[in-house]
Copies of this chain bind each other. A is one copy, B any other.
Amino acid sequence: MTEAVFFARSAGLTVGEIATLTGGTPREGTDLDRRVVNAAPLDRAGPSDLSFADKPKFAAALAATAAGVCLVSPALADAAPSHVAVIVIRNPYVAFVSVERALFPDSLRPSSLVAGTGVSPGAFVHASVRLEAGVVVDPGAVIGPGAEIGAGTVIGPQAVIGPQVKIGRNCSIGPCASVTHALVGDRVIIHAGARIGQDGFGYVRGPNGHVKIPQLARVIIQNDVEIGANTTIDRGGSRDTVIGEGTKIDNLVQIGHNCIIGRQVIIVSQTGVSGSCVIEDYAVLGGQVGLADHVTVGEGAMLGARSGVIGGNIPARARWGGFPARPLREWLRGAAVLRRLSADQSGHEHIHKDDDEEQG
């Protein structure tokens, strides 16, 4: 792997420590004191790196690897060369991730970008703000009156925390992010440039144009949520916008006012959730999905990338796709039908010349 110059160099872990951490079983005769300090794919790993192999298709790469230590599935245990310290485990990738997390604890959430502690001189913290112990406020951050920030939370440079906002413990608020009209739980990560709490998009038509509907509610962000860079989450108009515990939202996502997002939901980049939608626990929305307003996505449902839901409910545990969205198999079948219908005509292209021209 590329040398991780941006993270503190790890003291490393021994084979014995990795086996204990992951619950894996070292291959007989393995040196339990061998140490790795980094992690890498099989083809780029060297003697001081940990790697992993979890599928039969990786057998050849495993046989050729220069990795010092390797987490492998039982079926691959004999495919590793003798110079590799092998740890056998049922799910090598999950174990690999857990070792990476132990090797690079400062990668688990963004830190101060100036290696700061306490409130940096260049930050503005209103006199009425309440900061618990160990809060770090980077230069340029602005915290408005009455805000409260929990212990261990890092407020990045240029981040803006609005008046009366409450942020829990061990959160990271990224550079240039803004958080207003919001209550935020513990261990929440908000990445750079995310916009939390601005007005929702609501107007009534008046005689002289569009009249703004007051947006009087809040954004509630529960524990362990992660919100991507430049994502926007509007505060509620008449009821709170809620992001449930453990939900992960990627970059450039739009969440409209009054939405209720459940727990452990995954929302991939550039998806747009219109106002007053409900997304139940464990649902997964692929990238560039769009939901019309008042749509409900059932528990554990999965919307394929770029699907567009124009109304109604997606049943729990369903897999839908396309636009207008329908069950995924039906949508793929429809695409195949259309492909066949249009391919049939490719031998008669001259007949449809007019059509082609009109599509210019």
Interface residues of A (CB under 8 A from B): 1-2, 4-7, 39-41, 44, 93-94, 97-98, 100-101, 103-104, 107-108, 110, 113-115, 120, 122, 124, 126, 138-140, 142, 144-145, 156-158, 160, 162-164, 174-178, 180-181, 189, 191-193, 195, 198-199, 201, 203-204, 206, 208-218, 224, 226, 228-230, 232, 234-236, 238-240, 245-246, 248, 250-252, 254, 256, 263-264, 266, 268-270, 272, 274, 287-288, 290, 292, 305-306, 308, 310-311, 323-324, 326, 329-343, 345-346, 352, 355-356, 359-360
Given A124-B157, A192-B195, A195-B191, A113-B330 contact (CB < 8 Å): no
Q: Indicate if the CB atoms of A339 and B352 lie closer than 8 Å.
A: no
- A–B complex contacts, Cβ < 8 Å, 16 sampled: A6-B162, A44-B239, A101-B214, A108-B212, A140-B142, A142-B175, A195-B229, A209-B245, A209-B246, A210-B246, A229-B234, A232-B252, A272-B287, A288-B290, A336-B352, A337-B345
Contact of A176 (CB < 8 Å), options: B107, B158, B263, B330: B158
Q: Indicate if the CB atoms of A6 and B250 lie closer than 8 Å.
A: no
- Closest-CB distance, A223 to chain B (whole angstroms): 10
Number of identical protomers: 3
SS of A interface (majority): loop
Give every chain B residue within 8 A of A180 (Cβ-Cβ).
Answer: 6, 113, 175, 192
Contact of A254 (CB < 8 Å), options: B4, B270, B338: B270
Q: Indicate if the CB atoms of A232 and B232 lie closer than 8 Å.
A: no
Give every chain B residue within 8 A of A335 (Cβ-Cβ).
Answer: 324, 359
Q: Indicate if the CB atoms of A142 and B114 lie closer than 8 Å.
A: yes
CA distance A214 to B101 in the complex (A): 6
Given A108-B214, A191-B198, A120-B124 contact (CB < 8 Å): yes
For A41, A115, A193, A311, which residue has the most chain B Cβ atoms within 10 angstroms? Answer: A193
Given A158-B176, A217-B1, A229-B232 contact (CB < 8 Å): yes
CA distance A355 to B342 in the complex (A): 15
Q: Indicate if the CB atoms of A228 and B224 lie closer than 8 Å.
A: no
CA distance A226 to B213 in the complex (A): 13
